[in-house]
Amino acid sequence: MSKLILVDWGTSNFRAQVLNEKLEEVHSISSNEGMLQVQKNEFHAYLINILKDHLEENSIIIMSGMVGSMNGWIETPYVHCDASLSLLSTKLVKIPNIKENIYIVPGVKSLKNNKIDLMRGEEVQIFGALKLLNKKDAMFILPGTHSKWVEVKNEKIIDFNTNMTGEVFNLLSTKSLLAKSISSHVINEDSFTKGLELSFTNTGLLNQIFQARAQASIIGEHNVYSFLSGIIIGNEIKEMKKVFECKDVIIVGSSSLNDLYTIALDFYKIKIQSVDAGLATKESMKVLYKEIRNSRNLI
Amino acid sequence: MSKLILVDWGTSNFRAQVLNEKLEEVHSISSNEGMLQVQKNEFHAYLINILKDHLEENSIIIMSGMVGSMNGWIETPYVHCDASLSLLSTKLVKIPNIKENIYIVPGVKSLKNNKIDLMRGEEVQIFGALKLLNKKDAMFILPGTHSKWVEVKNEKIIDFNTNMTGEVFNLLSTKSLLAKSISSHVINEDSFTKGLELSFTNTGLLNQIFQARAQASIIGEHNVYSFLSGIIIGNEIKEMKKVFECKDVIIVGSSSLNDLYTIALDFYKIKIQSVDAGLATKESMKVLYKEIRNSRNLI
């Protein structure tokens, strides 16, 4: 039984952390029933069923991620930059017409420099990582399908850029001409670094990815996947360095991707610190939970 | 009946031009039986059958394109840069052990600037376009699935770069997250130009393509395809301008793609001339045909 359950419900995964009265994690639950796998009218039933052994009457469930998007359970309006954790806490959306206390954290929107950028879920990781590191200003990278570079000043997200790095890599390595030259999906660090070196040269991504084909017989087909990964992650870093001043950054993410980004950022002479995404999320969520308790006089 | 038949046998298309004794085109034949659709041991039978109404005993068939690649009929070695048309003519590969006179033009390989680049088929278009325009030096662009930028000096291909522009655009517009935001495949010039404007800004391709998603509701889902096309073609041009000095270029290709590249190159302040790919190919092939006749004492 628990006071607080945190749910990160993304496009293709569901993850929950069940916390006890001291806000320590006592259970974790995950499934690949992402919000795309759940019908609009079945979110409630799915959630209650998967959490049934952990719910009590006063439990509060706080959810982040794409579950708050147009195709999710309820669309929550974005909070605009400059966005703080305390602003987020005032914009939580409570799911109406159900007996459980379920809240969705709004996403964050940036409208700077004539562009639009969007996040849902990463914001709680960022504010949590700030707390864990006791920082007010920082540059964050959240690697992934849609890798995000996020600038924080005075504990506010002031701007960010999304890069479709992971999605482009997956498409190229499985659906393009290059797929025929790939015989292994194991990362070889030397070939990854060769890809980084190529990314640093003066041609662009559209040309460099062709090199993964043209050089396949030289680097070996078992290394093309790594070479391509180095090219694409390297291009993300090269371009983002032009946008953000970032001599040191904080990576929040899963360990395998963190490792590749660590090598790549080192190559581009950017210092890094890493923070676990789950720990970071929990740190923010505890703050949001306290706000909910205070403002709604729960407990 | 004919003296010369030109065949451009690429990955996904077959095109033949049948020329009379005066080397004027009298028939053209095309099919979508590209070399990927034909089994290794069936190239000969397929070719003779599709040309059966036009062959005579002394006919010479000259083929270019991916038919000369590893997965084609016979793999022809590449000619290295600096590559001239007369060098190509000495490296033609005659198909052995058949009664017909069938030749394959070798491709061209560039090993400059620590990279490898390859072409098969474009070389005959380039040398032909040079002849048609009566030039010795030029910068060429051959737009397509794998768009090529080719530098020619003193009638020799001295270097070139392939960009996977068309393939990346096709993958993103049909298989990525962006596909969900695309409701029309008709090009809108205004949205294409907005994509070009975005390409000119200081973020890279991986970020800019996400804008096609983030701005979809503003530009309209029927315009996302055009916006994305402008972003991707714009990035190709922006990057290639760093590699090649090109204030004016010659485009060789199909008319619909040429139109988009014309708009895009104009945006990037590059002057252009256009040459039809079929006419250009014929011009080179006539030269190769004369070399074959002379060197082999045919006719």
Q: Is residue B182 part of a domain?
A: yes
Q: Which long-range contacts (CB under 8 A, 24 or more apart) does B260-263 make?
A: B260/B143, B260/B187, B260/B192, B260/B229, B260/B233, B261/B141, B261/B143, B261/B233, B263/B189, B263/B192, B263/B193, B263/B196
Check residue B114 and give its pLDDT: 82
Q: Which of residues 92-121 of A touch B (CB under 8 A)?
A: 113-118
Determine if the peptide bond prior to A82 is cis (ω within 30°): yes
Are A270 and A286 in a shared domain? no
Domain that holds residue A25: 4-135+277-296
CB nearest B235 (choices: A175, A202, A206): A206
Report if residue A146 sits inside a domain: no
pLDDT for A254 beyond 90: no
What's the total number of domains in chain A?
2
**pLDDT at residue number A299:** 43
Give every strand in the sheet of B25-31, ordered side by side: B25-31, B14-19, B4-9, B60-64, B101-104, B93-94
Question: What number is the average pLDDT over the span A47-67?
Answer: 94
- Specify whether A15 is located in the same domain as A130: yes
User: Tokens for A146?
Assistant: 């849609």
Residue A157 structure tokens = 């997200």
The closest CB to that of A210, out of B164, B171, B240, belongs to B164
Cβ contact, residue pair A163, B242, below 8 Å = no
The chain A residue lying nearest B195, using CA atoms, is A115
Say if residue A223's pLDDT is above 90.
Answer: yes
Asked if B163 and A243 come within 8 Å (Cβ–Cβ), the reply is: no
Q: Do A164 and B232 touch (CB under 8 A)?
A: no
Mean pLDDT, residues B111-122 taken together: 93
CA-nearest residue to A166 within chain B is B206
Residue of B111, B210, B235 for testing the chain A interface, max A β-carbons within 10 Å? B210
B162/B102 Cα distance (integer angstroms): 28
B146 part of a folded domain:
no
In a domain, A38, yes or no: yes
Return left, alpha or beta for B23; rule: phi > 0 is left, psi -120 to 50 is alpha, else beta: left
pLDDT, averaged across chain B: 94
Per-residue pLDDT, B299: 42
How many contacts does A have with B, using Cβ atoms within 8 A? 134
**Closest-CA residue of chain A to B208:** A163
Residues A235 and A113 in one domain: no
Residues B25 and B103 reside in one and the same domain: yes
Q: ipTM value of the model?
A: 0.94
Residues in chain A, total: 299
Residue of B nearest to A149 (CA): B207
The residues with which A83 forms a beta bridge, in sequence order, are A157
Are residue B22 and residue B101 in the same domain, yes or no?
yes
Tens of pLDDT, residue by residue over B157-198, are 999 999 999 999 999 999 999 999 999 999 999 999 999 999
**B145 located within any domain:** no
Segment B26-40 mean pLDDT: 91
Task: Specify the pLDDT at position A2.
Answer: 62
Residue A11 confidence (pLDDT): 85
140-169 of A, contacting B, C-beta below 8 A: 146-147, 161-165, 167-168
Q: Is B180 on the interface with A (CB under 8 A)?
A: no
**In a shared domain, residues B177 and B106:** no
Is the pLDDT assigned to residue A1 strictly greater than 90? no
Q: Do B206 and A243 touch (CB under 8 A)?
A: no
CATH at residue B234: 3.30.420.310
Over residues A212-234, the mean pLDDT reads 97
Give residue B101's pLDDT.
Answer: 94
At A101-145, the pLDDT tens digits run: 999 999 999 999 889 999 999 999 999 999 999 999 999 999 999
